[in-house]
């Protein structure tokens, strides 16, 4: 689909021929452009995965940091 859109077809054309909506095809083209370095207005899939992993790690570290403080106050 991305190749069809890059070849000059509008997203509406393949959306009539195949299942995905024109907006889904636009989103795919936009994400592929980010991945290929053609756009800089968002995160690539790898960057988004890394961000998700780091946020999860920070959340876990905050929980672990709070546990010893709670144990000290209960004594």
Angle made by CA atoms 23, 25, 31, in degrees to the nearest 5: 105
pLDDT in tens, 7-30: 888 889 888 888 889 999 999 998
So what's the pLDDT on residue 75? 60
Q: Cα(35)–Cα(48) distance, rounded to whole angstroms?
A: 11
Per-residue model confidence (pLDDT) at position 71: 72
Look at residue 39 and tell me whether its pLDDT is greater than 90. no
The whole model's pTM is what?
0.57
**Residue range 27-47: mean pLDDT, rounded:** 86
Tell me the domain boundaries of the chain: 1-42, 45-75
Structure-block tokens of residue 46: 């790898």
């Amino acid at each position: 689909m991305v190749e069809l859109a890059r070849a000059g077809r509008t997203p509406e054309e393949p959306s009539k021929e195949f299942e995905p909506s024109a907006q889904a095809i636009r989103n795919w083209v936009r994400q592929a452009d980010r991945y290929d370095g053609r756009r800089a207005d968002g995160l690539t899939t790898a960057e988004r995965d890394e961000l998700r992993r780091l946020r999860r790690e920070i959340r876990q570290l905050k929980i672990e940091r709070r546990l010893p403080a709670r144990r000290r106050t209960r004594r």
